[in-house]
Chain A
Amino acid sequence: MRLRIGILALQGDFVPHAMMLKRLNAESRLVRKASDLIDLDGLILPGGESTTMTRLIEFASLHQPILTLIASGIPVWGTCAGTILLGKQGTDPRVRSLEAIDIEVARNAYGRQSESFHADVIIRELETPFEGIFIRAPKIVSIGDSVQVKGKFNDEIVFVEQNNVWASTFHPELTSDVRIHQLFLKFCEEKKR
């Protein structure tokens, strides 16, 4: 059975995620309403603008259904804006977090677009570095005791996991390197069993 992965498709770079999944022979479903969350083996929250996604999650009444899905143990992975949405609620009311992983995230923490960059990232499960693309990226500024570090850019924590939730501040979907998506699908496969 092919894995069926939902990708939150309210706004942002959900199409590159879908193309990655296609390359890896997984089925993807664009999620824009609560009924799209049924019968998924995993969920990806893509990059984009977290303020915009907050407004659209509210409009579509998706907050609680996503929380229910996370609570059921299905793997969920956020990239960039997705990480902001999964982390703890910050002080800015323009973004409403799902509070699904015990991390504090600072938005636009490197600065404006002129500070966007790419750089090699060390991923725990990968033998060679991964090219991380950071677009107006957030920083993970603190992690709780039960959060594990999956990836670092020099000394900065850029990829974490806690139970069934993964969060990365960079964009594997914008590269041609499928390795992290492969790991996520493997994780979904294990959880499914």
Chain B
Amino acid sequence: MDSPSKSIQENQSNQSFDKKVATWEVKVGLAEMLKGGVIMDVTNAEQAKIAEQAGAVAVMALERIPADIRVHGGVARMSDPKLIKAIQDAVTIPVMAKCRIGHIAEARILEALEIDFIDESEVLTPADEQYHIWKHDFQVPFVCGCRNLGEALRRIAEGAAMIRTKGEAGTGNIVEAVRHMRSVMEEINVLTTLPKEALVAKAKEMGAPLDLVIYVAEHKKLPVPNFAAGGVATPADAALMRMLGAEAVFVGSGIFKSSDPLQRATAIVRATTYWDDPKILLEVSTGLGEAMRGLSLEQIPESERLAVRGW
């Protein structure tokens, strides 16, 4: 090592550098690492191991998967930390968990548990009908759901480091996730065609901060990773969401409500990577056994729809 920079290195080696934690770069950085992957809902350590074995990039630890939350009714809350801890101990991939919309205390508990990502989720019963959490104050990153671009940008303004579609969780029906992803992508496309002065009016109309609206118009994408969630039940569903622009996919009830979870989970992981290769999609979609039964949206009364929670 006799390059001219050797002396520079020796000079610098006397310096000691500090770590900066919980910065925006570090929060969005983890979301970047999850891209192209599948995040799976699990309710115990055994399921978490199956998810990891199938190739999940992360698991979402919760007491009941959304399909069972629907059946169970009542108030859905943050899971018991004991259950989350058991899942953290079972796998090496990141572990996420959900808190109720606006429930700052649940989020603080999950942070103390050193969860890797908090999902401020409409799947649980909202704790605050007026405000979401101010997420910049937390050490750990947050993901939030959205139905359109304005909602996505409001959550990012509050500090969400990842956005996902809301879809309609626990239905095994992809139609709402498609609606939400289409909406976000189309609105992004429209912004890129507008002059600056029109962006001010757009920001007002969408109820989104102007600086983020300008960012989207200039970069033709959200400033954070944009994932799909809510109703994914098959490898083809995962591939479809990737085709529509999702950078990764959450699968909730679709895996452990199916007849062969490991095989289905593995197939969804492969379909998420090879979303644009129909031959592989054909191969991984074949002979998977029964998918979760699923619900049509008409079967769900307006009052029981999860996507309308939050604003």
Contact = CB atoms under 8 A, between A and B. Distances in A.
B25 A52 contact: no
- Secondary structure type dominating chain B contacts: loop
Interface residues of B, number: 50
A49 B32 contact: no
A129 B9 CA distance: 9
A115 B22 CA distance: 8
Contacts of B8: 127
Interface in A70-128: 80-81, 92, 94, 107-108, 111-122, 124-127
Contact of A56 (B23, B52, B273): B273
A140 B3 CA distance: 24
B246 interface: no
Given A113-B140, A117-B21, A122-B12, A11 B54 contact: no
5 contacts: A12-B37, A49-B57, A118-B25, A118-B26, A135-B29
Contact of A13 (B5, B25, B33): B33
Q: What 10 A-B pairs come out closest when comparing CB atoms?
A: A55-B55, A117-B19, A113-B116, A11-B36, A120-B17, A135-B29, A13-B32, A112-B114, A116-B26, A49-B57
Contacts of B140: 113-114
B270 A56 contact: yes
Interface of A: 9-16, 32, 47-49, 51-52, 55-56, 59, 80-81, 92, 94, 107-108, 111-122, 124-127, 129, 133, 135-136, 148, 152-154, 171, 174
B169 interface: no
B9 A122 contact: yes
Nearest to B4: A127
A30 B52 CA distance: 24
Contacts of A129: 12, 17
Residue of A12, A51, A113, A127 ringed by the most chain B CB atoms within 10 A: A113
B94 A113 contact: yes
B182 interface: no
B57 A52 contact: yes
Nearest to B18: A119
A7 to B, nearest CB: 12
Contacts of A15: 35
B141 interface: yes
A56 B21 CA distance: 31
B17 A51 contact: no
Nearest to A92: B92
Nearest to A173: B32
Contacts of A127: 5, 8
B311 interface: no
Nearest to B57: A49
A158 to B, nearest CB: 11
A153 B23 CA distance: 18
B44 interface: no
A129 B1 CA distance: 18
Given A10-B273, A122-B13, A127-B8, A116 B21 contact: yes
Contact of B54 (A16, A55, A117, A171): A55
Given A49-B37, A94-B92, 6 more contacts: A9-B36, A49-B33, A56-B55, A117-B23, A118-B20, A119-B20
Contacts of B21: 114-117
A119 B114 CA distance: 21
